[in-house]
Structure 1
Amino acid sequence: MFFNNKFSCFRFYYLSRNIIAGLIGSAIGSKLLGTWGPVLGGVPILPALIGAIVLILIVSIVMKAIRK
């Protein structure tokens, strides 16, 4: 069985939610903040990182508010 207890299912949900938010945030950050800083594989690292962090924080705050 993939999930051996009920808590591992929740951890998988939170991890996948953050990964998806990070990918979307990095795309948005790259588009909004431009192409400054180092570029790796055609992706500006600093704007992508900033966008990912901001969107993960927003999604986490919204999901905590909904859960209460």
Structure 2
Amino acid sequence: MARDAREFAVVVRYTHHDGATPDQCVALMSWHEDPADADGEAARLNSVRPNERVEYFVKILRDRSA
């Protein structure tokens, strides 16, 4: 399947903080042109230091400027 050239994957860190807003809990870690690379990086980060308050995940973003 061909991938849309205007898509990219970002690895996001979510850290749970009591009383924090979602914006305060989320941080962009890296971006990747290949979603498989992003999946691998998120899996690696989740396995390095398992922590119930921190989770790394992948979000696919699309460029809507065109």
**TM-score calculated relative to the size of structure 1:** 0.35
Tell me: higher relative CO, structure 1 or 2? Use CA pairs within 8 A at least 6 residues apart: 2
Bigger radius of gyration: 1
Q: If the length of structure 2 is used for normalisation, what is the TM-score?
A: 0.36
Q: Report which of the two has the higher share of strand.
A: 2
